[in-house]
């Protein structure tokens, strides 16, 4: 979690529930709240003119979403849509800014988190130039494993479904399934039903 939930609630935050497919915020609207995911997975996306979807990320429990828009007058350039049933902690923009000004270490933590997310976006964007699906998957899994501080083989449970991995990497889900099987054959991953350990 980025900011302690108790701290947020003590300053007037509220918990809101979203069902699968609900919009948490929409592209083109202004940021009015700091939003932190208590439970669930959210998809950050944009829809292109031809109706195709581009997914920017799939943050989950403990992550915040759209936080950079609290410090600009720009409107959201993405949508945030619940992928699973979600509980989102919301606190007004004015209140979170006051908290951050009173506690500069929190501002530093939030800035570090945003920098990590930008790094992730750059990594994902670089995948577009890679044609080998296995290399794409290894790069994604390496980044996630390192981000969460895991080192041992098979110690890290990939937090995404095969469909979500496909969406993040620009691959078809069938390609992900086939290449994850190949990774298992090469002892790069361990599979336990639908779970992927890297």
Residue 190 and residue 172: Cα distance in Å, rounded?
A: 21
Q: How far is CA 64 from the centre of its chain?
A: 8
Structure tokens at 68: 């950079």
Handedness of CA 48, 115, 121, 196 (dihedral sign): negative
Are 61 and 38 in contact by the 8 Å Cβ rule? The answer is: yes
Give residue 48's pLDDT.
84
pLDDT 10s digits, 33-54? 999 999 999 999 999 888 888 8
Q: Which residues of the chain have pLDDT under 70?
A: none
Are 137 and 180 in contact by the 8 Å Cβ rule? The answer is: yes
- CA geometry: angle 61, 34, 111, nearest 5 deg: 80
pTM listed for this prediction? 0.83
Residue 80 and residue 108: Cα distance in Å, rounded?
A: 24
Residue 158 and residue 146: Cα distance in Å, rounded?
A: 12
Give residue 52's pLDDT.
83
Residue 44 and residue 79: Cα distance in Å, rounded?
A: 5
Element at 174 (helix H, strand E): helix 173-185
Structure tokens at 69: 């828009």
Give residue 129's pLDDT.
83
């Amino acid at each position: 979690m980025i900011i302690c939930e108790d701290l947020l609630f003590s300053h007037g935050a509220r918990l809101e529930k979203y069902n699968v497919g609900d919009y948490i915020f929409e592209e083109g609207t202004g940021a009015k709240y700091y939003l932190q995911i208590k439970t669930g997975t959210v998809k950050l996306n944009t829809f292109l003119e031809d109706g195709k979807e581009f997914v920017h990320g799939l943050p989950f429990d403990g992550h915040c979403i759209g936080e950079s828009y609290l410090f600009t007058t720009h409107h959201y350039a993405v949508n945030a849509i619940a992928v699973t049933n979600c509980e989102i902690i919301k606190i007004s923009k004015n209140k979170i800014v006051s908290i951050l000004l009173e506690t500069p270490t929190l501002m530093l933590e939030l800035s570090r988190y945003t920098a990590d997310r930008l790094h992730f976006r750059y990594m994902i964007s670089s995948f577009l130039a890679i044609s080998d699906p296995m290399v794409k998957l290894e790069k994604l899994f390496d980044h996630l494993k390192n981000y969460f501080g895991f080192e041992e083989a098979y110690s890290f449970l990939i937090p995404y479904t095969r469909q979500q991995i496909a969406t993040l990497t620009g691959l078809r889900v069938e390609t992900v399934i086939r290449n994850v099987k190949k990774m298992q054959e090469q002892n790069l991953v361990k599979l336990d039903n639908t779970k992927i350990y890297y």
